[in-house]
Structure 1
Amino acid sequence: MLTGYNNSLNIAMQTTGEINPLFQLKVLVLSDLGLNSIPKFLFYQQQLRAIDLSHNKLKGKLPVWLLANNSQLRFLNLRNNSFTGQFLSPSYTMRNIVWLDLSINQLHGKLPDDFGDKLLSLEYLNLSGNSFKKDLPSSLGKLRNLVKLDLAFNRFSGEVPKELLVGCTMLELLRLSYNRFSGQIFTSEFNLSYLSRLELNNNRFVGRLSNVKLEIVSILDVSNNDLSGPIPSWISNVSWILAMGNNYFNGQIPCEELLSLYFVDLSQNLLSGPLPSCFDFSKITQIHLEGNNFSGLLQNFLPNSSSTLSVLNLRDNSLSGGIPLQISTVVNLRQLLLGKNQLSGLIPKTLCLLKKINIMDLSSNSFSGTVPSCFHNLTFGEVVQNYGEAVTQDGFFMTNEFTDRGYLYGVLLKKNLNLHIDTEVSGQAMINIVTKNRAGSYEGKSINLMSALDLSCPIPVTFSKLGQIESMDLSYNNLSGEIPPELANLNFLEVFNVSYNNLSGEIPTTKAQFLTFDNSSYEGNPFLCGLPIYLKMTTPENGIPLATLTISFHKTDSFNQKNPSFTPSSTPHSKPKEPPLLLYRQHQT
């Protein structure tokens, strides 16, 4: 046996002369030693049972000869090196090898058609983090003993062969994330009933989850696909991470003793109905339901208290009512995202009791009154990592049970060793933040480096109900967000001025009225895009004065968005300003 970790061993890379080494090793562990080339004495080893050359700087063609030279080899770990080329099957069937890890290298090409025929005894196969491409060989279905299969972060395409879904009945972990797989995987032939961790995210799978049933699942990640249909009731069997965002799931979330989860992401789907009342808030750390059509009152969803919830993302839904006072009892809340709903009423002062908050988004709602003055006391400080965040960042650890069953180091060395599989874990939801008039997406640890308070879009959409309004002047304020496109429905609007604010986004140009406003209506907003058409305005000889709406917002102003005043404000502007333009035209009131 020869071992070395963390640069603690210096070995002679060349044998002297043509003399073959007299020793025959059974176990060789040279992990994380900065090796640039494979030691020459390995060419003369023929009795090795375990080889670990992971986390080095080895390069060149993949040394398949290690398999050919050592017929009794059971364990081969070449993870995290720089090997190139294609994987070539050994010339004969390797009936002893149970563990093969070639992940995080630069291997490419198609897996050989006889892959499964030559490696029949595999229990663990990790090819993730390479550039393998094209479809998977159907011979993978012959790996009857396979327990863990990781093919993530490659360029595999086509449909997953049905032979794998039918034949590999012992699979507990199946990870196909970040490939180009397509077609249906959840068919009537799906026979992987022992799966506890299924990660299919970032592919092009279609079909319905209701076609299968998984009994005991700790991690289910099918996000960023084209799956559709209702969410099946067996989802209540998921116990740790549930990620189904960015699909086409519809209907309501089933509430059958759901959900003893630590992380749930159902964002960007077609879900509707009330928010589910069955989350276990004594465990859950992150809830992402953004971009659906959930309705109802927020107070019927929030718990009376929670010491675990750190992220609540309900943006872009149809929630109504006010922010309930019990929000202050969610003491470890870090991100509260309620923007783009139909929430109303006062912004409660109890939000100031969220001492650990670092991102709060209340934008694009119908709140009234003033912003609580206590907001200036919110520190938006750094987070102390809790269990929920560890879930999204830590690796996945293999148990001693699998080590022993695989007859790896445990049997060969007569002792137990934990083998760390540091593949990326599911459960990292992306959060969009608008800061400095720019939208950005953040996930993982980087989200804790951000601090944001978003109360933007104070131009209320309800202005679009002012059907007879003919002049609207909102210039020289501190307005931010987009110009609501619904304002294009104001058919009588002849004067519109939002100059010298902090507005962003595209200028509405879908209706004739907004096509008549010139550049002076929008100047002083450097983040607006789209160009108005300049038209010279003329005054009819015979006309009557038009109704004029002038509204001035300042940091200290309070304003009821549902009942805007039709009288000019007497509050002085921050910059000199011309009086509202008075137009004349024929109009019967």
Structure 2
Amino acid sequence: MGTNSFSGIIPNTIGNNLRNLDWLDLTYNCLTSLTLELSFLSSLTNCKKLRFLGLTGNQLDGVLPTSIGNLSMSLENIYISNCSIGGSIPQLISYLSNLLLLDLEGNKLTGSIPVTFGRLQKLQGLYLPFNKLAGSIPDQLCHLARLDTLGLAGNKFSGSIPSCLGNLTSPRFPDLGSNRLTSVLPSTFWNLKDILFFDLSSNSLDGPLSLDIGNLKVVIGINLSRNNFSGDIPSTIGGLKDLQNISLACNGLEGLIPESFGYLTDKFSKDNLIDIGSFGSVYRGRLRDGIEVAIKVFHQNLCNGIEEF
């Protein structure tokens, strides 16, 4: 039933007689809820075999009820993104012990991440970006040994990045950009050797960038722009042979561009200059495996203007 033009109210009794339902996909319709408490979710507690719940893209305009924790113990995937959901995240979601993915992106959620989320031992994807969440990133997330994707961008999280995140072995896509995070990056962060892409941009992180960034051998994308990092650019970045995209713009970095970067563009030779624009210069680069990439060098004054891309 997903991606149609259904409209009207989701019946409060939708789950009363569908006791064998294992998949409910109502995503991308024009559905609403009769009550602020999204009472139809309570009726779905009768569906003991439910594995998939998709509500993304409907204007539900409510709050998540505590009864969400009483949904099927078989539930593996919850998609409730871009639904104009407000209020806090119920702690009782942690009762859904078989949950693999929780997507609450693009709502109006407030409060903090429940520390009880540390009980979701099978969770692989946690998507909470572009809400109004605040507080610190709880250490309990470090208990999620299977966590692959952590999306927390566009909130108001503050404090430092938990050092225990570096003890996990599975994260590949941590996105913590556009928050209020401070302090230096924990040295353990560079232990995440399976990271493919990470975004820590638009925070207030500071201190030097460690040479240990070179440990991220399979990384393809790095965004550390718009922070307060200082010191030299680590030369070890030039050894990341799979790297396709990196932004260090709008920091306090100084010194020379490492010679290892010069390999990529023949030391920024004019022969490799593709374009000069109002934002900066674009050079043709070549990775060690022969793949050609574009490397943009931004003008300093861009940091006080619009966002870079």
Common fold by TM > 0.5: yes
Unaligned runs of 5+ in 1: 236-253, 260-273, 291-301, 303-390, 392-425, 433-439, 446-589
SS of residue paired to 1:165: helix
Question: What's 1:142 paired with?
Answer: 167
Mapped pair 1:209 → 2:233: yes
Give how far 1:231 is off. Answer: 1.3
Q: Residue 178 and residue 59 in structure 1: after superposition, are their counterparts in 2 closer, same or farther (change >3 A)?
A: same
Among residues 25, 29, 32, which one is paired with 2:57 in the alignment? 32
CA separation in 2, counterparts of 1:49 and 1:28? 8
Partner of 2:86: 59
1:225 aligns with 2:251: yes
Larger radius of gyration: 1
Distance 1:190 1:163, change over 3 A: farther
Residue 234 of structure 1, CA deviation: 3.2
Select the residue among 242, 258, 270 that pairs with 2:265.
258
Are residues 160 and 441 of structure 1, via their aligned partners in 2, closer, same or farther at CA, if it must alter by over 3 Å?
Answer: closer
Q: Distance in 1 between matches of 2:156 and 2:68?
A: 27
Q: 1:431·1:443 contact (CA, 8 Å) conserved in 2?
A: no
Match of 2:149 in 1: 124
Structure 2, unpaired ranges of 5+: 1-22, 284-293
Task: Output aligned runs, 1:53-132, within 5 Å.
Answer: 53-66=80-93, 68-90=94-116, 93-116=119-142, 118-132=143-157
Name the CA shift for 1:170/1:16 in 2 (closer, same or farther; >3 Å). Answer: closer
> C-alpha separation between the residues in 2 aligned to 1:210 and 1:38?
46
More displaced stretch, 132-141 vs 30-39: 30-39
Residue 223 of structure 2 corresponds to 199
The offset of 1:228, in angstroms, is 1.7
Higher normalized helix content (fraction of residues) = 2
SS at match of 1:58: coil
Shift of 1:277: 2.2
Contact 1:115 1:137 in 2 (8 A): no
Distance change (3 Å), C-alpha of 1:152 and 1:27: same
Bigger RCO of structures 1 and 2 (CA < 8 A, at least 6 apart): 2
Give aligned-pair identity as a percent: 23
**Per-residue CA distance 1:216-243 (angstroms, 9 max, x = gap):** 21111000111122212333xxxxxxxx
> CA contact under 8 A between 1:148 and 1:174: conserved in structure 2?
yes
Instruction: Judge conservation of contact 2:182–2:205 (CA < 8 Å) in 1.
Output: yes
Report the CA distance between 1:25 and its aligned residue. 1.1
Q: Across the two proteins, how many residue pairs are aligned to each other?
A: 268
Q: 1:233 to 1:43 in 2, by over 3 A?
A: same
Q: Distance in 2 between matches of 1:111 and 1:233?
A: 37
CA contact (8 A) 1:5 1:31 kept: yes
Distance between the aligned counterparts of 1:200 and 1:165, measured in 2?
A: 14
Separation (CA, whole Å) in 2 of partners of 1:148 and 1:16? 30
Q: Distance in 2 between matches of 1:188 and 1:106?
A: 33
Q: Is the 8 A contact 1:37 1:57 kept in 2?
A: yes
- TM-score norm. by structure 1 comes to 0.41
Residues 44 and 210 of structure 1: is their aligned pair in 2 closer, same or farther, counting only changes over 3 Å?
A: closer
Aligned counterparts, 1:398-409, within 5 A: none
Q: Which residue of 2 aligns with 1:278?
A: 271
1:208, CA displacement in angstroms? Answer: 1.9
Q: What do you get for the CA RMSD once the two structures are aligned?
A: 3.5
CA pair 72-427 structure 1, distance change in 2 beyond 3 A: farther
